[in-house]
Structure 1
Amino acid sequence: MQRLKLHHMLSPPSCSSHAALLSSCLRTKSLSSSCMQPSPWSGLETWRNSPLNENRCWGPKGPQTIGNADTPPVSSASSLAELGALVLSTSDPLAKSNLSHIAYFTWRQHNLPLGACQPPPRPARPLKPQLVHPKEIPAPKNSGLPLNAYMLHNLAHVELNAIDLAWDTVVRFSPFSEILGEGFFADFAHVADDESRHFAWCSQRLAELGFKYGDMPAHNLLWRECEKSSDNVAARLAVIPLVQEARGLDAGPRLVQKLVGFGDLRTSEIVARIANEEVAHVAVGVHWFVSVCQKLGCAPSSAFKDLLEDYNVELKGPFNYSARDEAGIPRDWYDLSTNNKDKNKKRANSEKLSEVYERLASIISMESENSSLNRP
């Protein structure tokens, strides 16, 4: 029953009556007492309340502003959802990155409403990079790029997709603003702004190395994962922040080490900063996934596992446990060894219970036989 609720109760409404029914259903649900609450990231409220981050350039000593930090508003949009749709409809990568920041700035500075609109079927994309199957991505030695530029290009591709993933979440689920609350949309617009800054850093560093985004093929796996969860906000939270972005926490330190080994300390510092800032994005996913589960009256741990199974999403290690712990993802949600231990423990308990039942059945049978023999 819980899986049915997760699939249908938070799906984009086709009409106002569906939305009203959804709202009524959610209000009547209560959280199971067996639900384990994750430990929230300690920096979440600080991140939420932080001023607009204008450090969109990577200077000699790290992030810095680009000249005049004043950002012009977007006059053609009157709500956050409309602003997000504009970003999604922008194909040029740098223009998309800049517009993402302008959109977030405009919404915050001008107190625009959340609004509601439909996202485009898929985000606008440039002609390059060519999108191919992951197995067709060239190896570093065949890419035409040195190893540091190769790794940076891959990261830039992830960050560009992340901009669209965050804005698609804002726009696609904007009809649910009364249920999810303004904080949901504020958080994911904030995530989109962070991701746009990360792409700007990657793009700048690629240019310094003599390359640009689009100089080698890339895959479309990230957007395909996003499309999987387009019908369900709980699935979107499970698949994107709690799986895809959490993989960034796992891969970040390894990527930094490779860049240090290659001798590119400047790029390694950029990657380390991006990986550190991704903790906030995963923490946001944890917070809102738990919130949705509370509305649905189900345990987050089992709901997370059910959704990954239903949407055919694979969890891959090795895991960066310290970063995941900091972001607030309980290990029993994703750690296969922990899950296997739990299954083995349940199996062992079940076997013990079976033995007990068999003994009881044997005793009852013997008592029945003795009783019949002793009858006059």
Structure 2
Amino acid sequence: MFRQLQLHIHLCLLNLAPAPASVPRLRLFSLKRPGGKGAHLSPSSSATADGVPRPWFGLHSWRESPLNENRTWGADGPQHSPPDPSSSNATYGSGDPALDAVSSLAEFGALVLSTPDPMAKARVSHVAFARWLRRKVPVGEFRPPDRPARPSKPPLVSMRDVPAPKNSGLPLNAYMLHNLAHVELNAIDLAWDTVVRFSPLREALGEQFFSDFAHVADEESRHFSWCAQRLAELGCR
């Protein structure tokens, strides 16, 4: 149900399909923890007999899923797009001196965080996770920048200075997609910041911790690419 709802949201935002007639409400129920305190869990959550939450049942299959190359949004939804020419072979990134010089996942993360161009940030994220899946780089250790790099335009402003949709000069779908693109862009940086910031603790945390966050960064970069593509199709930059 959650995947279907997510797909409906994507299609509605991208103006490719009508909104569903009704959105199902998620009912919460209470499970008693030891000691009598209730814990609200959604129906998608699972718990042991004593009410202690268990890991997401799809976690293993998500971790084992292959590299997702569906980075283009087509008429029927996400579709495969060929890798960037500079990353077309098995090493993913060979031919690009800046990427060839990267020697660890943490350094890749710092490179993403230091990249101001959003599309380049998304591309490097994908290259980094592809390299990681192919075990071409170790976790390593690196220092994160003080803050993620951003392009000079659009300028960063306070939320109260963001115009309302009716005053933005944009159609509503473009306005919403622009906001969503910002969410996805920040999600890329948050995931990579976690990889880089905690890289000194890699022995204690283990590789899976970093693999999961690199995987999240790759997924968010794919979502951002969809938003950017559709914004360009709508004539927005």
Q: TM-score normalised to the size of structure 1?
A: 0.46
Matched, 1:92 2:109: no
| Residue identity in the other structure for 2:131 | T
Aligned residue pairs, count: 180
Work out which of the residue numbers 155, 163, 182 in structure 2 matches 1:130.
155
Unaligned ranges ≥5, structure 2: 1-33, 36-49
| Residue identity in the other structure for 2:58 | G
CA RMSD for the aligned pairs? 1.7
Matched, 1:210 2:235: yes
The superposition leaves residues 173-197 of structure 1 with CA deviations (integer Å, 9 ceiling, x where unpaired) of: 0001111111100000000000000
Distance 2:135 2:205 in 1: 22
The answer for the alignment partner of 2:182 in structure 1 is 157
Distance 2:193 2:175 in 1: 27
Shift of 1:42: 1.5
| Residue identity in the other structure for 2:190 | L
The answer for the alignment partner of 2:72 in structure 1 is 57
Distance 1:124 1:58 in 2: 26
The answer for the alignment partner of 1:180 in structure 2 is 205
Matched, 1:47 2:62: yes
Counterparts in 2 of 1:177 and 1:200: CA distance versus 1, 3 Å: same
Distance 1:176 1:68 in 2: 32
Distance 2:71 2:105 in 1: 21
| Residue identity in the other structure for 1:53 | N
**What's the secondary structure of 1:132's corresponding residue?**
coil
Matched, 1:66 2:81: yes
Q: Structure 1 or 2: larger helix share?
A: 1
Matched, 1:197 2:230: no
Distance 2:130 2:210 in 1: 14
Distance 2:51 2:83 in 1: 47
The superposition leaves residues 65-116 of structure 1 with CA deviations (integer Å, 9 ceiling, x where unpaired) of: 2235734242111111011111111000101111110111112214311101
| Residue identity in the other structure for 1:210 | G
The answer for the alignment partner of 2:6 in structure 1 is none
Question: Would the aligned equivalents of 2:69 and 2:83 in 1 still touch at CA under 8 Å?
Answer: no
The answer for the alignment partner of 1:111 in structure 2 is 136
Unaligned ranges ≥5, structure 1: 1-32, 213-376
